[in-house]
Amino acid sequence: MIDFPYLEDLCIRTDSKIIMLVVDGLGGLPHPDTGKSELETARTPNLDALAGRSVCGLTTPVLPGITPGSGPGHMALFGYDPVKFLVGRGVLEALGIGLELGPNTVAARGNFCTVDDEGKLTDRRAGRIKTVESAPLVELLDTIDIPGVSVEVHPVQDYRFVLVLRGDGLGANIPDTDPQVVGGPPRTAVAAELTSERTARFANAFIDAARGLLGSRDRANMVLLRGFSTEPEWPEFGRSYNLNPAAIAAYPMYRGLARLAGMKIITTGADFDAELKTLADSYSDHDYFFLHYKPADGAGEDGDFDAKVARLEELDARIPAVIDMNSDVLVVAGDHSTPAIMEAHSWHPVPLMINSRLSRGQGSDAFDERACRLGALGAIPATNLMLLALAHAGKLAKFGA
Amino acid sequence: MIDFPYLEDLCIRTDSKIIMLVVDGLGGLPHPDTGKSELETARTPNLDALAGRSVCGLTTPVLPGITPGSGPGHMALFGYDPVKFLVGRGVLEALGIGLELGPNTVAARGNFCTVDDEGKLTDRRAGRIKTVESAPLVELLDTIDIPGVSVEVHPVQDYRFVLVLRGDGLGANIPDTDPQVVGGPPRTAVAAELTSERTARFANAFIDAARGLLGSRDRANMVLLRGFSTEPEWPEFGRSYNLNPAAIAAYPMYRGLARLAGMKIITTGADFDAELKTLADSYSDHDYFFLHYKPADGAGEDGDFDAKVARLEELDARIPAVIDMNSDVLVVAGDHSTPAIMEAHSWHPVPLMINSRLSRGQGSDAFDERACRLGALGAIPATNLMLLALAHAGKLAKFGA
């Protein structure tokens, strides 16, 4: 949680409401032809007008130059130091496909890979086989039975799957079996501490069984396991900030991250319009809403500049519906930048605005990277955003006499 | 002290002089009708001209969103981490009325309160009785005699007083007797550690005696005690920075805070003109002056935008007298913002300028929130200000070979 020991003393329960709209992959970089970023290119009259009566700035998710995954990006916005509160890859993949984990459960991310006749790795991703090829293989692996533990294998996408082990006395302190280079054999699962030894034995039994089931194939004839992890027990967002928080997110992974923070997850539909309806329906029940908008990130990762512009314009058209909720504080933030020209997440600071009755007269002309850089909030660590949101909502008492 | 382990090695004693003018509650927010803050509204030709030949920026007192009291706000400017060096409320109230505490002394802030026939709290502030009603009650409480300890009760204002216990073997680790809610009885003083047990017994003896003296009254018939604390022993400002520092402040609390930092307190008069005369008279005796300007903060807390503007203009008229001292470095800073529209301290970053022969050509057009945001210093933690002041004074050696 935010590194401020007096936080719980200062957080006041009030009737005011906070909506935190997180636009996944919000920030971008200028298109080489126009010199304008996705946000600068998009026609976003509603976001721009809101920026005029908001206070704007930039958030740095982790550190300058550090590109966050979805986990660190979101946990930082929630005020959790993303270095300290790091989600294991196995758990994150499981959350991403909507699995419930809970206690006594270890998850690992699996890759189908290809080995030669001597068992040496020739391709760590089995030629990036597509889901159509991997799906039946996942079903095959899901039949594996290991005495003493419950084994589940779930499909993710393409060459990726999730292995879930459920049972007593499991630990997750096991380095990856993926050696990261080809030419040698996959590693054996070796426990790094005593409490993970049973789990390592189960993992090796699973790997042996998988080799037996897949071994006759030309490719995707072996598996690699990475990111053994358990669902962490972290401080509760609601208790830390004295809030009654809810998460509204169409995509499972973001619901999963919110659940790690102990937020109430409200069932919603498959897109942002469904989320907006859920927000309106549940508005009286909570004082903080994490509202997630996904499509901009995907377009950025695809390297499709125009599509990202379009996704931002589609968001803009829905901003009036968010404003109409009349929350005391409306935050528009992003978990990280996803510049289309990079086709990936990036480290670049992310535009931010906070709208409240206290933000008038401090506004910016537009909501984009350049305008926010000159905004009155300045550049702040993303982990400090919650303090500002609470302050603007009148939910933070004075520190010290 | 500043989290930089080589600080004492780098600080050089020189003849150069630093004046740090702290304008209490300096920062503000735009007036809704004009869109201009108090500083932007005030006609401050002298401050603006000084900004033109100074380097400007903004300070964050504690963290974004955290509103500091006077203690944290000032200690941060002096370079003390305000989270680590936190003054207890009892001590701060005592400093605020000019008491000398010293060792073997515990101070607590007291409230007159009202209880019903069953001893249950009905009003934690006794109807906010005025000083005219509370003053004789304070005199009455000051007659209380407890064997084994010296008891003093001092008036503060309205329903507030300070209890000072002096004697051997006292500790201050005692939670408040104020339960923060009405409907139940006040709490008994209970020591949270062994070394505070005697003090808790004395406190309960005081409370019993107070109940006996006040019990026949309709209101203000009981007392609550909060913020038991002792004067902390902190690193000396002068030793840490290799300075011979002095504080000039018309208001007792700010002299008290400077005393906690080990500064020499120079006797001065009741207002800023008196402070300026004191500065001139003592100028040859010290190499660092903390000079405090109070009136802007009070106007902000009163919610009187025009009065705050007027107090800033009155300060501006006196800036030439400060400049005439020809100090090598002149800092104009604030301990926190006090926007009139909020009628309270706030978390907003505070304008800052540093004038020295090294600041020319980096200046801003004006001295206000907007201009300082774009200033060459950028936004810095308030705890880093002393490093910059020392550097501009040529008092900081190179770090590392």
Please state, in angstroms and as integers, the Cα–Cα distance from residue A271 to each residue in A206, A298, A379, B15, B102, following that order.
37, 14, 31, 68, 65
Question: What local confidence, expressed as pLDDT, does residue B5 receive?
Answer: 87
The answer to whether A297 touches A22, Cβ cutoff 8 Å, is no
Angle of CA points A195, A198, A200, to nearest 5°? 100
Structure tokens at B349: 């970053």
| Beta carbons of A399 and B66 less than 8 Å apart | yes
**Chain B within 8 Å of A376 (Cβ-Cβ)?**
yes
Residue A301: band (very low, low, confident or very high) from pLDDT cuts 50, 70, 90? very high
CA distance A303 to A342: 7
Which range, of A76-80, A360-364, B135-139, B214-218, averages the lowest pLDDT?
A360-364
**If we measure between CA atoms, which residue out of B206, B220, B218 comes closest to residue B163?**
B206
Structure tokens at A332: 């528009």
CA distance B336 to B351: 9
CA distance A215 to A208: 10
The answer to whether A160 touches A148, Cβ cutoff 8 Å, is no
Average pLDDT across chain B, whole number: 96
**If we measure between CA atoms, which residue out of A178, A181, A237 comes closest to residue A203?**
A178
Q: A152-186: per-residue pLDDT in tens? A: 999 998 999 999 999 999 999 999 999 999 999 99
Query: How far away is chain B from the Cα of A327, in angstroms, using its nearest Cα?
Result: 18
| Beta carbons of A376 and B374 less than 8 Å apart | no
**Which of B30, B67, B346 has the CB atom closest to A362's CB atom?**
B30
Pairing of β A350-355 and β A329-333: antiparallel
Find the helix packing angle between B305-323 and B45-52, rounded to 10°: 60
**Chain A within 8 Å of B58 (Cβ-Cβ)?**
yes
On the 0-12 / 13-18 / 19+ scale of CB atoms within 10 A, A318 is middle
**Chain A within 8 Å of B66 (Cβ-Cβ)?**
yes
Question: What local confidence, expressed as pLDDT, does residue B96 receive?
Answer: 86
Question: What local confidence, expressed as pLDDT, does residue A360 receive?
Answer: 87
Angle of CA points A69, A71, A72, to nearest 5°? 75
**Chain A within 8 Å of B345 (Cβ-Cβ)?**
yes
* Chain A to chain B Cβ contacts (< 8 Å): 89
Q: B249-271: per-residue pLDDT in tens? A: 999 999 999 999 999 999 999 99
CA distance B176 to B224: 8
CA distance B284 to B319: 19
Cα-Cα-Cα-Cα torsion A64, A67, A72, A74, nearest 10 degrees, comes to: 90
CA distance B21 to B23: 6
| Beta carbons of B66 and A360 less than 8 Å apart | no
Q: A213-246: per-residue pLDDT in tens? A: 999 999 999 999 999 999 999 999 999 999 999 9
| Beta carbons of A400 and B347 less than 8 Å apart | no
Residues of B in contact with A386 (CB under 8 A): 65
Residue B110: band (very low, low, confident or very high) from pLDDT cuts 50, 70, 90? very high
CA distance A366 to A40: 8
Query: How far away is chain A from the Cα of B65, in angstroms, using its nearest Cα?
Result: 4
Q: What are the counts of helices (DSSP H) followed by strands (DSSP E) for chain B?
A: 14, 13
Angle of CA points B232, B336, A57, to nearest 5°? 125
Helix (H, G, I), strand (E, B), or coil: what is residue A310? helix
**Chain B within 8 Å of A1 (Cβ-Cβ)?**
no
**If we measure between CA atoms, which residue out of A37, A21, A23, A34 comes closest to residue A370?**
A37
The answer to whether A124 touches A224, Cβ cutoff 8 Å, is yes
Chain A residue at shortest CA distance from B62: A399
Query: How far away is chain A from the Cα of B218, in angstroms, using its nearest Cα?
Result: 30
The answer to whether B207 touches B189, Cβ cutoff 8 Å, is yes
The answer to whether B352 touches B332, Cβ cutoff 8 Å, is yes
**Chain B within 8 Å of A18 (Cβ-Cβ)?**
no
What is the mean predicted confidence (pLDDT) over B84-92? 92
Chain B residue at shortest CA distance from A59: B64
**Chain B within 8 Å of A358 (Cβ-Cβ)?**
yes
The HSE-up count of residue B138 (CA atoms within 13 Å, CB side) is: 23
Angle of CA points A384, A387, A388, to nearest 5°? 90
**Chain B within 8 Å of A322 (Cβ-Cβ)?**
no
CA distance A302 to B368: 44
Query: How far away is chain A from the Cα of B345, in angstroms, using its nearest Cα?
Result: 8
Pairing of β B18-23 and β A378-381: unpaired
Residue B154: band (very low, low, confident or very high) from pLDDT cuts 50, 70, 90? very high
CA A98 to chain CA mean position, Å:
13
**If we measure between CA atoms, which residue out of B252, B251, B253, B256 comes closest to residue B234?**
B256
Question: What local confidence, expressed as pLDDT, does residue A299 receive?
Answer: 96
Q: Which residues pair with B166 in a beta bridge?
A: B105, B150
Q: A354-398: per-residue pLDDT in tens? A: 999 999 889 999 999 999 999 999 999 999 999 999 999 999 999
Question: What local confidence, expressed as pLDDT, does residue A316 receive?
Answer: 98
Pairing of β B264-265 and β B350-355: unpaired
**Chain B within 8 Å of A20 (Cβ-Cβ)?**
no
The answer to whether A27 touches A300, Cβ cutoff 8 Å, is no
**If we measure between CA atoms, which residue out of B45, B384, B75, B96 comes closest to residue A399?**
B75
| Beta carbons of A361 and B83 less than 8 Å apart | no
Question: Which residue of B56, B60, B66 is the best one to mutate when testing the A interface, meaning the one whose CB has the most A CBs within 10 A?
Answer: B66
Q: Where are the alpha helices (DSSP H) in A233-338?
A: 237-241, 252-260, 272-282, 295-301, 305-323
| Beta carbons of B66 and A361 less than 8 Å apart | no
**In chain A, % of residues over pLDDT 70:** 100
**Chain A within 8 Å of B342 (Cβ-Cβ)?**
yes
Q: A102-142: per-residue pLDDT in tens? A: 999 999 999 999 999 999 999 999 999 999 999 999 999 99
Neighbouring CB atoms inside 10 A of B397's CB total 11
Q: Is the pLDDT of residue A31 over 90?
A: yes
**If we measure between CA atoms, which residue out of B204, B205, B225, B222 comes closest to residue B213?**
B222
Provide DSSP, B178-231: --SSSSSPPPPP--SSGGGHHHHHHHHHHHHHHHHHHTTSSSS-EEEEEEEE--
Chain B residue at shortest CA distance from A378: B379
The answer to whether B76 touches B397, Cβ cutoff 8 Å, is no
Question: What local confidence, expressed as pLDDT, does residue A96 receive?
Answer: 87
| Beta carbons of A401 and B92 less than 8 Å apart | yes
What element of type H or E holds B139? helix B131-141
**Chain B within 8 Å of A391 (Cβ-Cβ)?**
yes
Rg for chain B, CA atoms, rounded: 23
Q: Which amino acid is at B162?
A: V
**Chain B within 8 Å of A370 (Cβ-Cβ)?**
no
Q: Is the pLDDT of residue A1 over 80?
A: no
Rg for chain A, CA atoms, rounded: 23
**Chain A within 8 Å of B374 (Cβ-Cβ)?**
yes
The answer to whether B248 touches B294, Cβ cutoff 8 Å, is no
Helix (H, G, I), strand (E, B), or coil: what is residue A333? strand
